[in-house]
Amino acid sequence: MTTPTSAGPGAAVLAFDVGGTDMKAALLDEQGRMLESTRVPTPLDGERTGDRVVDEVARLAVRLTSAHPDVRPAAAGLLVPGHVDDVRGIGVFAENLGWREFPFRDRAEAALGVPVGFGHDVRGAGEAEHRMGAARGFDDVVVVTIGTGIAAAVFVDGRLYTGGGLAGEIGHDRVAEGPICACGGRGCLEAVASAAAIARRYSLRTGRPIAGAKEVLELMRAGDANAAADWASALDALALGFSHVVALLAPQAIVIGGGLSEAGDELLQPLRERLDGILTFHRRPQLIKASIGADAGLFGSALAARDALAAVGSTAETTIEGETWR
């Protein structure tokens, strides 16, 4: 499948995708093309991180719009990790980032002077895959991101299901007896099969520090038995976790993104075989690699911005630090 390069025609918008380490920002024009994108460190500052993120959003907005004075964004999108209440526009809780009940949407709208579409980072990336990418055309589909953690965007009858901000946390489905997960649980899928967990478990097994799951895969290709064992146990855990998703939701497809998806068929083919071996009468979902890649969050943020603009039907003049956009 061809990687999408445009969000399609619509309003020009700003897009922000906040992660635990970095935050990305981009400006998209009226054809949905990403004119410029940038990445900066997430401004971690304990309980004040939410405020610092909004400050950085405002700074990056001025930087991007100043560099492209002919493009006048009418809205912005902001995606953040953690427990997110999309309806209220609140970052409910992010253990690693420090905020609780932070009113991101209201603060960002006050800082930017435009409507802001707000949501969860994985659900936003899932929306992009559903509207533009590999999940397009499926009414019942789960878009799973496997990176530092594991989470999913769940679509039922073509609509994103959020469950009050808690749906899709399949990374905390118990699939094993151990190890301890950062959430406090034991044997969570994320603690066994995330990219970070695969690397961490190999290091614990061998005493050899490694950079990440990609290195584990390379060692497995070179005949390392410990790497092969870790990779196999991660696949077993993913297949078990996906079988729970299939039994509950019967999705037509499971689309896999995030860093681990770059393993391609070395991930997907053995995962298909394991999942097929668990299922009986169930619908067999297609297992498909996500197509948008690292920019899925930014495109999802841009789509959220356009959705917010459509919801308010805004035609008012908007300003950032005195510079009129429209």
Task: State residue 2's pLDDT score.
Answer: 67
Q: d(Cα 73, Cα 326) in Å, to the nearest integer?
A: 8
Task: State residue 320's pLDDT score.
Answer: 53
Task: State residue 176's pLDDT score.
Answer: 93
Decide: residue 209, CB within 10 A, 0-12 exposed, 13-18 middle, 19+ buried.
exposed
Q: Is 140 helix (H, G, I), strand (E, B) or coil?
A: coil
Longest Cα–Cα distance of the chain, Å, equals 63
Nearest CA among 283, 258, 272, 315 for reference residue 122: 258
Q: Model-level pTM?
A: 0.90
Q: d(Cα 74, Cα 137) in Å, to the nearest integer?
A: 29
> pLDDT below 70 — which residues of the chain?
1-2, 314-326
Q: d(Cα 94, Cα 127) in Å, to the nearest integer?
A: 21
Q: d(Cα 119, Cα 135) in Å, to the nearest integer?
A: 19
Decide: residue 190, CB within 10 A, 0-12 exposed, 13-18 middle, 19+ buried.
buried
Kindly report, residue by residue over 77-118, the tens digit of the pLDDT: 999 998 999 999 999 998 778 899 999 999 999 999 999 999
300 DSSP assignment: H
Task: State residue 270's pLDDT score.
Answer: 97
Give the count of beta carbons closer than 10 Å to the beta carbon of residue 273.
11
Q: d(Cα 176, Cα 107) in Å, to the nearest integer?
A: 41
